[in-house]
Amino acid sequence: MAVMKRGKVFYILFRPFDDKLVGIKTFSGCKTEAKLIERAILSACKSGDFSALDPTSRELCLRMFVNQGKELPAGLSPQRLAEELTFWEGAEIFLKYPGISDAKTRDRHEICLTNLAEYFGKDFSIRSMRVPDVKRYMFDRIKGGAAEGTVNREKGTLSRYFQVLMELEMVDQNPCERIKNLSEKSGQREVYLSFQDVRRIMDVIPDWFRPIVWTAYCTGMRRGEILGLTRSQVNLKRGLIVLSAGDTKEGHPKRIPIHMDLLPTLREAMKVRLLGQERVFLIRDAAGVRPPCDESTKNPWRRAMKELGLTDPRPRFHDLRHTWKTNARRSGVDFEIRESIMGHSTRQKSVAERYGRISDEELIEAVDKMTFDHGDTEIIVARKGTRVPSEKNVNRALTNVPEKGKGRVTTRPNSLKLLVGGRGFEPPTPAV
């Protein structure tokens, strides 16, 4: 009997049938958990009683019998297992499934499943879920104030949940397949955050969060790309951040030039290296030192918005990416270079663009020419597919000055144009 690790996966090697060595691929995240599963399966095989097995061990035991061509015991049939399976037991199996357990979206799946469990109940029978149940959930979530995009993500997690259980032959249908996503046009936003207001936000967020926000503002990177940034991806000498295809949402490699005023922040963040930790950005607070995740950044951002007295539609972290693109365009950065840095891959490229190679030097030169003070804060949200710049959907909380023009909010007199990196400018150097 043995538990072996190959890559990130733990395998159990044992003789449950007393005739030959059998290997099982587990969903375990540690060796101790794999050993507990091994003992549980061995005990069940010897006694013939499979009722005490937890859902994960039962699924592995079932797979072992099928792979070995053994006759299934009465207490281990997929039909019986599915009938007994509750929503939360299925969630535990789903979150440990290969491709889910180590996915970047695992935290998001876990949050979505928690919301679903609160609605349906943890003991809800999986086999009893039907299309009307899912539609009713989506309707009630929208009625309760959830955004269309949030509901679509939760439905997507539920659909993936059923796909995994179908692969494991624990259910025979996915009720989400016949349900269309909700239209997200009503939540489309056009956002620009002024340089002054970004500085105001920086003043009220925790010290460990400041370099993350500043990096997003200076690079246009997504939150997940920044939080997952490792030392090997940052080349301060060349002035580049290089992401592989697996590190980006688009699934394509990407080069992001480091602006001259971001260099001090990255140097400070990489000055002290923790043993066994490759992340560039870490949370350092009273609870200790640890790498951040999407959820750990949401509460500090919400608290900052509340402290500044902002009401919906309030700035979002992702709006920093929108702002970077606007600043790049208003600074005269070439269109192809902008799109290359942003990593947009949905638009069909022309022949000239496909055959044109953008050098590292071009990227760095273009970004160093960028300026970051190009107007006042605007947040315009479309309602029912229409762009409506009204008082309700334009954020007026950043200042109390009168409105100038339709849908435009002047956050403060724009009497001084600050050149990033120019004389008299002091870029934030947050304590990390």
Over the chain, what is the mean pLDDT? 79
Report the candidate in 173, 181, 175 with the shortest Cα–Cα distance to residue 152: 181
Q: If phi over 0 gives left and psi between -120 and 50 gives alpha, with beta otherwise, what is residue 8?
A: alpha
- Identify the weakest region by mean pLDDT among 180-189, 274-283, 408-417: 408-417
Q: Is the pTM of this model over 0.95?
A: no
Tell me the H-state helices in 252-318: 263-269, 294-307
What is the structure's pLDDT at 406? 31
186 vs 401 pLDDT, higher one:
186
Residue 20 in 3-state DSSP? Answer: coil
Query: How does residue 1 score in pLDDT terms, banded at 50, 70 and 90?
Result: low
| Three-class DSSP category at 97 | coil
The residue-averaged pLDDT of 53-81 equals: 74
Tokens for 313, please give them.
Answer: 């539609």
> What is the predicted pLDDT for the residue at 408?
31
**Which domains can be identified in the chain, with CATH numbers?**
2-76 (no CATH), 91-182 (1.10.150.130), 189-387 (1.10.443.10)
pLDDT band at 36 (very low <50, low <70, confident <90, very high): confident
Using CA atoms, how far apart are residues 313 and 393, in angstroms rounded to an integer?
6
CA distance 72 to 87: 24
Average pLDDT, integer, range 205-209:
93
Distance CA 59, CA 78 (A): 9
Measured CA angle at 401 (ends 395, 405), to 5 deg:
70
pLDDT at residue 224 greater than cutoff 80: yes
CA distance 193 to 324: 9
Please state the rounded mean pLDDT for residues 89-117.
86
Over 70: is that where the pLDDT of 107 sits? yes
pLDDT digits (tens, 9 = 90+) for 258-270: 999 899 999 999 9
Residue 67's pLDDT is what? 77
Q: Which band of pLDDT confidence, cut at 50, 70 and 90, is reported for residue 393?
A: very low
